[in-house]
Structure 1
Amino acid sequence: MRAALYALAVILPVTAWAQAPQSDIRAQLTPRDYTTLAAEIGAKVERIAVREGERFTKGQALVAFDCSIQKAQLSEARASLSAADKTLAVNKRLLELQTIGKLENDVSMAEADKARAKEVASAAVVAKCQITAPFDGRVVEQKVRSQQFVQPGQALLDILDDSELELDFVVPSKWLVWLKPGHGFQVVIDETAKTYPVKMTRVGARIDPVSQTVKVTGTIGGRFPELSAGMSGKVLLAPPP
């Protein structure tokens, strides 16, 4: 009789755990990559190729500036470089004929190097007259409008890559004993009322000493067009018995 009661006492906690509801863990969908594109030069916005919510591909021109002055400066720098190179070529020939001294030739060589440096600098500025997409994605927010003058460092577009959505949530730090990268589970998204597969990918670098919790990240498995960054839901995850 005592043996039967002891066995029942041992089995009950396990059975109760198996029937207990899973922990109420809230999570949010986040994009894999996101950034804010900013102006690197002061200029007038000539054209914005994409609007809020629209998609773009990597390398696509997103914003173009009116760079007529910068392009004129580049043309001037190239003309100066051409003249300097021609002067240098003539002086090299004259030096061979001993018509001029080495100092004059060295000065013309330095002038050519200076003109080349100006040409490179002007070309670098002109290259910043167009901002291209660093990855495939969508526009979250358009912060400027066409024909608006912007300053260097001013934010232009908030963009994100939603090709692979991640799930961020917080769990008790003691779960790290069994919760490892590669662990599979599910999440129910509030906005769609559907369940999606998730695989844990990484653990936060620091545990909160007050709450004794840690941030973990998982990746939604597969492509689901109805999902968007910012959606939230409940993680179906509980410690093993």
Structure 2
Amino acid sequence: MRASLPAIVLLVMGSLPAQGQELRAQLSPRDFTTLAAEIGAKVERISVREGERFRKGDTLIAFDCSIQRAQLAEARAALSAADKTVAVNARLLELQTIGKLESDVALAERDKARAREAAGAAVTAKCVVPAPFDGRVVEQKVRAQQFTQPGQALLDVLDDSVLELDFVVPSKWLVWLKPGHGFQVAIDETGKTYPVKLTRVGARIDPVSQSVRVTGAIGGHFPELSSGMSGKVLLSPP
């Protein structure tokens, strides 16, 4: 799910660019989200800190779920007992020692026990927060031993494997500016120029400014680049 990192917007000097004028923009991550607690529990362990990297599926936060695990064990024991009751009643029904109603009630009790066991397993699965993608921690919003409520924000994370540029161009450029078009961006912080390929064109043209938002992706992997860096988009009509 994509969520609430602050929007990274175009920095345009003045109005729309004239031919040959450079645009300014900032790098933004392809994916970013805020991970939230799904249960009320105490934070037992935080595996990553701000700025650290993680892999998809890594456990980022673990909760103290001793009560939930005990409830799950109880539900599983109740399900086991219900299974045995159903098996015995099935044999007794064959011998006509009990009626069908009694057998049906036992089956219903087993279904209830199975549902409670499934619910307990689902809750227990929420005791760890896995990484949704490869990425980095932007901000840690909780601390170990802190009690959290369902829906409380835990971590802001982003995937910086692909960095993007969002900027605005005149709508008349769409005659030649298509997805796949290559250009360059000069990043201020590194003093280097990097290749960019246009990936998306906005779905709506602003009728007042006659402009449209477009998105490009940095081509290749450059460890020195980070989300939030800014620079000049070197793009002009042919």
Which SS does the other structure have where 1:234 is aligned? strand
CA distance in 1, matches of 2:151, 2:207: 38
Offset at residue 21 of structure 1 (A): 7.3
Q: How does 1:145-160 map to 2 (within 5 A)?
A: 145-160=143-158
Among candidates 64, 81, 90, match of residue 88 of structure 2: 90
Match of residue 65 from structure 1:
63
Among candidates 104, 107, 110, match of residue 105 of structure 2: 107
Write out per-residue CA displacement over residues 36-95 of structure 1, whole angstroms, 9 at most, x where no aligned residue: 100000000000000000000011000000001100100110011011111111000000
Match of residue 36 from structure 1:
34
Among candidates 115, 118, 121, match of residue 120 of structure 1: 118
CA distance in 1, matches of 2:219, 2:53: 21
Which SS does the other structure have where 2:86 is aligned? helix
CA distance in 1, matches of 2:104, 2:168: 67
Relative to the length of structure 1, the TM-score reads 0.90
1:209 equivalent in alignment to 2:219: no
Q: How does 1:214-233 map to 2 (within 5 A)?
A: 214-233=212-231
Structure 1, gaps ≥5 residues long: 1-19
Which SS does the other structure have where 1:98 is aligned? coil
CA distance in 2, matches of 1:35, 1:221: 23
Which SS does the other structure have where 1:159 is aligned? strand
Q: Tell me the matched-pair count.
A: 221
1:182 equivalent in alignment to 2:145: no
Which SS does the other structure have where 1:75 is aligned? helix
CA distance in 2, matches of 1:229, 1:207: 27
Moved more, 85-94 or 200-209: 200-209
Name the amino acid aligned to 1:161: D
1:132 equivalent in alignment to 2:147: no
Match of residue 3 from structure 1:
none
Name the amino acid aligned to 2:217: T
Structure 1 outlier segments of 4+, above 4 Å:
none
Offset at residue 24 of structure 1 (A): 2.5
Match of residue 72 from structure 2:
74
Relative to the length of structure 2, the TM-score reads 0.91
Q: CA RMSD in A?
A: 1.1
CA distance in 2, matches of 1:24, 1:220: 17
Match of residue 46 from structure 1:
44
Name the amino acid aligned to 1:27: A
Which SS does the other structure have where 2:168 is aligned? strand
CA distance in 1, matches of 2:207, 2:188: 30
